[in-house]
Amino acid sequence: MYKPFEIKQNLFYVGVNDRTKHLFESLWPLPKGVSYNSYIINDEKIALIDTVDICYSDVFFNKIRSVLGDKPIDYLVVNHMEPDHSGSIELLTKRYPDIKIVGNSRTESMLKGYYGITENVLVIEDNEELSLGKNTLQFYLTPMVHWPETMMTYVKESKTLFSADAFGTFGTLDGGVTDTQLNPGRYWDEMVRYYSNIVGKFGSPVQAALKKLSGVEIETICSTHGPVWTQPETIAKVVSIYDRLSKYESENGLVIAYGSMYGNTEQLAEIIAAAAAENGAQNIVMHNVSKSHESDILRDVFKYRGLIIGSPTYNNKPSPGVESLLSALQNRNLKKRFFGFFSAHTWADGAKRDLKAFADGMEFEMVCGPVEMKQSLSSDVTKNAYALGKAMAEKLNSGADVVPQKTDCR
């Protein structure tokens, strides 16, 4: 039998860790695993907040039993219907047939669509409250953070926010559960990678949710992935990371992402990086798209203000890895970046065409005209590559805001 972990009085953690899955959503690597978090409020009425991936339902139910024994559960609050959080609902209703499922109208529709559940569903509205006895639940609808049914649940008496996927991060909970038991430092980069890959497209809805919560006093954040945040300094940092990323704000640094077939385009990237460093740029990160996973590139692009992308032409298009990266950045509505690009070709420069179309469609500021290499790394190409790196460093060091416009430094 598990020993229940009590986060605070009558609030218990019953989530699980996944150290088996290689790819989250079959897309994003999990080198440090991931947790699926669920919580019990043990009051006059008992509320379970979210469930876990069905693969871990046996562990999940054992943990519930360690808290409640044979007592029934009165309410299941569903903050988010994605299957890694709702996957155990159908099994839960079989074990607790009288349980009432609490969610909004979109939750109700998804419960029917996913699991055929239409009975014992309590549909709530924005700001509606539900008393458990000593604890009062207040519900905040936060659509598109990052699904349309997403909501957050706030316990007024303990100032605890159950935030669904917001404020979440990759990484398992190794031994402990709260930020007082774990080292928060291991989660910050994984939080940025989680946000940029999973939530990155939805900056405006995240800002709307933060605005809705701005007057709410929060002492504990219980998200569905990652540690329970209890310390004022870590809560402030978590909120600030989500606030900054959802505004597309960034740190001073440069990402150079490139594809290269035979090494020529890579040499252009090296010259650009060296020129940027020589002219004062720091925090330069280089990614060969054939080796770096896209999730790591997206993390760094969301993190840093400068972005330069380069590619050879392949089948009259950018290399497949670069093409995928361009699509991912467009899909996430990335903005507020200083930008430059370079291309290489032998007879037809389709990469330059598509990189230019990408730049024209984004809210970026071009720091320099494109660098184009035909067949060989000539002295003129080298000069232009150096100019691009220098222009990027000067722009990053200027402290200026990004102003979407087209610039030619040559």
For residue 205 the two structure tokens come to: 């809805």
With contact defined as beta carbons under 8 Å apart, do 19 and 3 qualify?
Answer: no
Give how far the C-alpha of residue 172 lies from the chain's centroid of Cα atoms, to the nearest Å.
16
Query: Under a CB-based contact definition with an 8 Å cutoff, are residues 227 and 179 in contact?
Result: yes
Position with higher pLDDT, 408 vs 272: 272
Report the pLDDT averaged over residues 13-31. Answer: 97
Instruction: Extract the tokens encoding 344.
Output: 């290489």
> pLDDT tens-digit profile of 64-83?
999 999 999 999 999 999 99
User: Mean pLDDT throughout 397-402?
Assistant: 90
pLDDT at 3: 83
- Please name the amino acid found at residue 210: L
Residues 6+ apart with CB under 8 A from 303: 192, 196, 250, 251, 253
Contact 155, 47 (CB under 8 A): no
pLDDT by residue (tens digit) across 371-398? 998 888 899 999 999 999 999 999 999 9
Predicted pLDDT of residue 207: 97
pLDDT of 148 reads: 97
Tell me the mean pLDDT in the region 239-266: 95
pLDDT in tens, 134-186: 999 999 999 999 999 999 999 999 999 999 999 999 999 999 999 999 999 99
Q: Residues of the chain with pLDDT > 70: what percent?
A: 99
Q: Which of 381, 341, 332 is nearest to 359 (CA)?
A: 341
Return d(Cα 393, Cα 387) in angstroms, integer: 10
Residues 321, 287 contacting (CB under 8 angstroms): no
Mean pLDDT computed over 281-292: 97
The confidence band for 410, taking pLDDT boundaries of 50, 70 and 90, is low
Report the mean per-residue pLDDT for the chain.
95
Report pLDDT digits (tens) over 186-219: 999 999 999 999 999 999 999 999 999 999 999 9
Q: What is the pLDDT of residue 4?
A: 83
**Residue 378 structure tokens:** 């000539």
CA 214, chain centre distance (Å): 21
* pLDDT the model gives residue 331: 96
What is the band of 335 on the pLDDT scale with cuts at 50, 70, 90? very high
pLDDT of 406? 66
pLDDT at 346 over 70: yes
**Cβ–Cβ < 8 Å for 410, 368:** yes
User: Rounded CA gap, 331 and 97, in Å?
Assistant: 42
Q: Tell me 69's DSSP state.
A: T
Task: Give the per-residue pLDDT at 409.
Answer: 60
Tens-place pLDDT, residues 88-115: 999 999 999 999 999 999 999 999 999 9
Q: Tell me which H or E stretch contains 39.
A: strand 39-42
Lookup: tokens for 374: 């035909």
Q: How far is CA 346 from the centre of its chain?
A: 39
Q: What is the pLDDT of residue 377?
A: 86
Q: If you write DSSP's letter for every residue of 212-257 in order, what string do you get?
A: HHTTS--SEEE-SSSPBB-SHHHHHHHHHHHHHHHTT--EEEEEEE
